[in-house]
Every structure is written in structure tokens, then in C-alpha cells.
Amino acid sequence: MAAKQPPPLMKKHSQTDLVSRLKTRKILGVGGEDDDGEVHRSKISQVLGNEIKFAVREPLGLRVWQLVSAIMFSGVAIMALAFPDQLYDAIFDEEPVSSKTPIRLYGGALLS
């Protein structure tokens, strides 16, 4: 008795079948809008997020404040490293300290 051969398997081309492709993208969660209203084109962009929201320009006042504070911290740090006695006298109204190491360590921490 001869066994009947099964018919050859037909491969489905999902790239050309648009309905199948849409179903696959829905199952993967790609292509639709999420809760924030963003449309993800791939699973990688869904995991990593959209970089457009990171391209927002900061206000000018924030940039100026960052520059001013960086200059002030650097100035105090350089003064603590170069002139620890004068910085100690400017901050505290006490007798001079015998060791300059803590003030210089403070300056190094500020500069870093």
C-alpha cells in the first residue's frame, strides 16, 4: 500500500499580503499610537523612545544660570586652592586656621 504524499507546503509571502502584515504589526505593538500619542515605527524605537522630545531647547535663563553658577563655583574653587587663608578670612571671622589642607580639599572638590 503506497502512502499518499502530502501536497507541497505553500509559503505565504507576508511582505505582499497587507492584511497579514498589519496583523503582525498590531501583535508586535508597532505602528499604532501609544498612550502618549506617539507612533512607533519599530520595536527598537518603542523601547528606546522617541528622540524628538529630547531635542527641546532649554530657556535662555537656564543657560545663563548654568554659566553664572559654573563661573562662581570655579572662582571659589580656584581661590580656595591658591589663597586658602584669604578665603577662610572672608567666610569666617575667627582666628586663622593652622592647617590649609581642609580648605584646599574643599577647593579641589568644588573644582571637580
Output the pLDDT for position 78: 94
Query: For 48-97, how does the pLDDT look when each residue is reduced to its tens digit (9 = 90+)?
Result: 665 666 667 788 999 999 999 999 999 999 999 999 888 888 888 777 77
Which of 4-8, 20-24, 39-43, 100-104 has the highest mean predicted lDDT (pLDDT)?
100-104
Euclidean distance between CA atoms 28 and 20, whole angstroms: 12
From 27, 66, 64, 25, select the one nearest 42 (Cα to Cα).
25
Output the pLDDT for position 97: 76
Residue 45 has pLDDT above 70, yes or no: no
What is the mean predicted confidence (pLDDT) over 36-44? 62
* Buried/exposed code over 21-34 (b: 16+ C-beta within 10 A; e: otherwise): eeeebeeeebeeee
